[in-house]
């Protein structure tokens, strides 16, 4: 299975998750303002991420002509939403950093403004320049969620309770969602390997300084990840185990194996595309690409269900189950396809295997779904109210985030057409020596 | 802003939290400095060199495959000749650069004062992947004086046989860019039409000129590409 196929699988997963969960989030009228806003943004983020995955799939599929510019511009425009959404969620959830209306307006205004500013840069031909502040969202993630994690995970014993641990878990899960793929490069960062320091996410389009800012974000992201890992191991030794340790430790173990594989090849991180050495290409598909396309939606689904951003009742249960089944079945079949691409198995055997795995997966889903729904994790019980200020933000205003996102997407479509029609990226490529 | 509206004061409140969060932020700063020192100093020259745009010269070594065909075409009739380049060449060479076709004929009726016939040729647009819209293509021609007609189709986009200076990427990128074997695969079709020009003695019953023999030579120019760093 080529990388672009995995991108299309990721597109299906993300759009399915985003679309179905958005319906469920709308029905959950009891959510506090910050959780309602974060849940809406999370759902919309995954819908746009799905569009981005599909667009990147088309860019990588080597279609003839110059239409790749259209798809590339769609992909970067959707990535602007992703980065701004991540920053917005970090400012709102699990504990709101914005505590009054003025702070909400300024904070969210800045993240929306950044996305619009980047679109303007693309129109005027300053795509991928240092002014776009690409990668700055990683700094926001490690500063906000990292600090929240440390604060609540290491609460003194007399103040610690399930809610503080759950807040730390949510912060850790979101950090994993954003930075999991980066954590698999941790040995490269410490051991000064080319595959990390030569990361060049935008190829000829980006300058050395732009690459520096981007990779510096990854460096602090790895430092945050190692700190979380250290804290989790320390807490586990003290008998205060948290689910997060099971989730993050594979990333760091895979990082060690990845170091051995990447060190053999010439490609660096994102630069691994078809044409690279087989083993490096395969490893990148199984780790980085899989995190982007499959693991991220699964983590998001877990957060939505576990922390009651989706209210499960008799009315919403069928849709919620459909959502989780779609994610599990598509993810399972994609992973089996990946395995089949390296270990050729007879198609009849693989079909039977797929059936067995999905049956087991659905059985597991039934059990785990019930567990998740029956025991929703609390974030606010026995927590000082100052962490959760009450703001009067009407639900209809929160619903307008969807309209804003739709308008942004339509504008992005027009800009992508403009970029394609006027060969903006192609000219940029020639100017910058592509 | 009241104290309760300042989240930072809460994040740093309490001796334990202040210490923990401060240590965490210190770890981030250390990582940032470590990364900066490696990026700009320890691996600085290699990283800078990576972004320096290298100039390359792309050169082509040509080799040709010739194929000849001959047809006798009756007056007013049109025939289509087909040509397919050898499959071996697509495998052994980097690319199919251009296709030249020469069409020659003479007046073969043997009649006294018989002028040359009119031969028109047209290389038909087929689904063969080629640079059909290249401004330098010559896809049709006519001759009424027994002059040879020469047609040229540039098959590989931007190929003209001349060395090219390119900048950026790496040698393998440029080598790959000039090694797409899909160009030129398929059947080329040449339409030939003959209009006989009768001799001035055509009124005599035994004198007639009803057809012409046309010789066609297809030359498929393949190339091997080599990419050299030029600076």
Tell me: the pLDDT tens digits for B5-59?
888 888 888 768 899 999 999 999 999 999 999 999 999 888 887 767 778 899 9
Residue B10: list chain A partners with CB under 8 A. 386-387
Closest residue on chain A to B39 (Cα):
A197
- What is the interface pTM, i.e. ipTM, of the complex? 0.90
The predicted model gives A274-299 an average pLDDT of 80
Measure in Å the smallest separation between the Cα of A432 and chain B Cα atoms. 8
Band of pLDDT at residue B112, cut at 50, 70 and 90: low
C-beta atoms of B32 and A219 within 8 A: yes
Interface of B with A (CB under 8 A): 1, 4-7, 10-11, 14, 16-17, 20-21, 24-25, 27-28, 30-32, 34-36, 38-40, 42-43, 46-48, 50-51, 53, 167-169, 176
- The answer to whether residue B69 scores a pLDDT higher than 70 is yes
A307: phi then psi, degrees, rounded to nearest 5: -105, 25
Start-to-end CA distance of chain A, whole Å, equals 28
> Chain A, 386-425: which have a CB under 8 Å from a chain B CB?
386-387, 389
Q: Testing the interface with B: which of A92, A103, A151 to mutate, by most B Cβ within 10 A? A: A151
Band of pLDDT at residue B173, cut at 50, 70 and 90: confident
Query: Which of B21, B34, B168 is closest, CB to CB, to A433?
Result: B168
Residue A216: list chain B partners with CB under 8 A. 32, 35-36, 39
Range from A77-91, A226-240, B70-84 carrying the lowest mean pLDDT = B70-84
C-beta atoms of A204 and B169 within 8 A: yes
Residue B184 tokens read as 């030129």
Measure in Å the smallest separation between the Cα of A345 and chain B Cα atoms. 31
Distance CA A319, CA A369 (A): 12
B55-229 belongs to CATH 2.60.120.380: yes
Closest residue on chain A to B169 (Cα):
A434
The verdict on A23 touching B (C-beta cutoff 8 Å) is: no
C-beta atoms of B20 and A151 within 8 A: yes
Closest residue on chain A to B18 (Cα):
A151
Q: What is the DSSP letter of B76?
A: T
Measure in Å the smallest separation between the Cα of A41 and chain B Cα atoms. 22
pLDDT at residue B201, as a whole number: 62
Give me the number of domains chain A comprises. 1
Closest residue on chain B to A104 (Cα):
B5
Closest residue on chain A to B129 (Cα):
A64
C-beta atoms of A389 and B39 within 8 A: no
Domain extent at residue A204: 3-431
Residue B145 tokens read as 């004086």
- The answer to whether residue A271 scores a pLDDT higher than 60 is no
The predicted model gives B97-126 an average pLDDT of 84
Kindly report, residue by residue over A75-120, the tens digit of the pLDDT. 999 999 999 999 999 999 999 999 999 999 999 999 999 999 999 9
3-state secondary structure chain A: CCHHHHHHHHHHHHHHHHHHHHHHHHHCCCCCHHHHHHHHHHHHHHHHHHHHHHHHHHHHCCCCCCCHHHHHHHHHHHHHHHHHHHHHHHHHCCCCCCCCHHHHHHHHHHHHHHHHHHHHHHHCCCCCCHHHCCCHHHHHHHHHHHHHHHHHHCCCCCCCCHHHHHHHHHHHHHHHHHHHHHHCCHHHHHCCCHHHHCCCCCHHHCCHHHHHHHHHHHHHHHHHHHHHHHHHHHHHHCCCCCHHHHHHHHHHHHHHHHHHHHCCCCCCHHHCCECECHHHHHHHHHHHHHHHHHHHHHHHHHHHHHCCCCCCCCCCHHHHHHHHHHHHHHHHHHHHHHHHHHCCCCHHHHHHHHHHHHHHHHHHHHHHHHHHHHCCCCCCCCCCHHHCCCCCCCHHHHHHHHHHHHHHHHHHHHHHHHHHHCCHHHHHHHHCCC
Distance CA B90, CA A369 (A): 57
Residue B28: list chain A partners with CB under 8 A. 142-143, 146, 220, 223-224
Query: Which of B27, B43, B46 is closest, CB to CB, to A223?
Result: B27
């Amino acid at each position: 299975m080529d990388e672009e196929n995995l991108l299309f699988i990721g597109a299906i997963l993300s759009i399915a998750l985003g679309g179905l969960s958005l319906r469920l989030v709308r029905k959950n009228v009891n959510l506090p303002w910050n959780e309602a806003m974060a849940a809406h943004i999370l759902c919309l983020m995954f819908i746009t991420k799905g569009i981005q995955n599909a667009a990147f799939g088309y860019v990588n599929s080597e279609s003839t002509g110059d239409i790749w510019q259209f798809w590339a511009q769609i992909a970067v425009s959707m990535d602007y939403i992703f980065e701004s959404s991540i920053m917005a969620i970090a400012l709102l959830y699990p504990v709101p950093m914005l505590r009054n209306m003025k702070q909400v307006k300024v904070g969210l205004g800045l993240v929306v403004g950044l996305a619009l500013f980047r679109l303007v840069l693309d129109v005027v031909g300053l795509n991928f320049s240092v002014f776009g502040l690409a990668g700055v969202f990683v700094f926001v993630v490690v500063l906000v969620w990292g600090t929240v994690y440390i604060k609540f995970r290491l609460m003194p014993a007399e103040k610690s309770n399930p809610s503080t641990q759950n807040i730390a878990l949510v912060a850790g899960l979101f950090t994993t969602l954003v930075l999991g793929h980066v954590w698999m490069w941790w040995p490269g960062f410490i051991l000064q390997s080319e595959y990390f320091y030569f990361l060049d996410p935008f190829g000829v389009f980006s300058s050395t300084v732009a690459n520096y800012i981007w990779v510096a974000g990854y460096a602090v992201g790895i430092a945050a990840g190692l700190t979380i890992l250290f804290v989790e191991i320390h807490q586990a030794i003290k008998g205060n185990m948290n689910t997060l340790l099971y989730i993050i430790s594979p990333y760091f173990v895979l990082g060690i194996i990845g170091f051995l594989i990447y060190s053999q090849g010439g490609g660096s991180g994102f630069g691994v595309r078809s044409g690279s050495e087989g083993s490096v290409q395969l490893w990148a598909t199984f780790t980085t690409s899989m995190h982007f396309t499959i693991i991220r939606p699964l983590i998001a689904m877990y957060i939505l269900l576990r922390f009651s951003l989706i209210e499960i009742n008799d009315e919403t249960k069928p849709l919620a189950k459909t959502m989780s089944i779609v994610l599990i079945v598509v993810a399972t079949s994609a992973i089996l396809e990946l395995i089949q691409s390296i270990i050729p198995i007879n198609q009849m055997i693989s079909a039977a295997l797929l059936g067995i795995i999905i049956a087991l997966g659905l059985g597991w889903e039934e059990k785990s779904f019930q567990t998740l729904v029956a025991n929703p994790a609390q974030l606010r019980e026995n927590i000082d109210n100052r962490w959760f200020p009450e703001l009067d933000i009407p639900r209809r205003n929160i619903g307008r985030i969807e309209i804003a996102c739709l308008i942004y997407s339509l504008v992005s479509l027009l800009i992508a057409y403009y970029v394609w029609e006027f060969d903006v990226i192609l000219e940029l490529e020639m100017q910058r020596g592509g | 802003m009241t104290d309760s509206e300042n989240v930072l004061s809460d994040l740093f409140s309490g001796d334990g939290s202040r210490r923990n969060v401060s240590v965490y932020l210190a770890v981030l700063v250390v990582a940032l400095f470590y990364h900066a020192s490696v990026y700009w100093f320890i691996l600085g020259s290699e990283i800078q060199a990576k972004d320096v745009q290298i100039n390359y010269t792309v050169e082509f070594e040509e080799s040709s495959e010739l194929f000849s065909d001959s047809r006798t075409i009756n007056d007013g009739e049109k025939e289509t000749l087909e040509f397919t380049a050898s499959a071996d060449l697509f495998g052994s060479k980097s690319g199919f650069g251009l296709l030249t076709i020469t069409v020659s004929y003479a007046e073969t009726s043997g009649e006294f004062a018989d002028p040359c016939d009119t031969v028109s040729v047209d290389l038909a647009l087929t689904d063969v992947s080629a640079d059909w819209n290249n401004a330098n293509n010559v896809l049709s021609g006519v001759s009424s004086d027994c002059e040879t007609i020469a047609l040229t189709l540039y098959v590989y986009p931007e190929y003209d046989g001349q060395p090219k200076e390119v900048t950026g990427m790496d040698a393998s990128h440029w080598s790959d860019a000039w090694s797409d074997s899909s160009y030129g695969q398929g059947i080329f079709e040449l339409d030939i039409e003959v209009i006989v020009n009768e001799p001035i003695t055509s009124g005599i019953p035994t004198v007639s000129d009803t057809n012409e023999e046309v010789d066609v030579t297809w030359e498929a120019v393949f190339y091997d590409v080599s990419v050299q760093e030029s600076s």
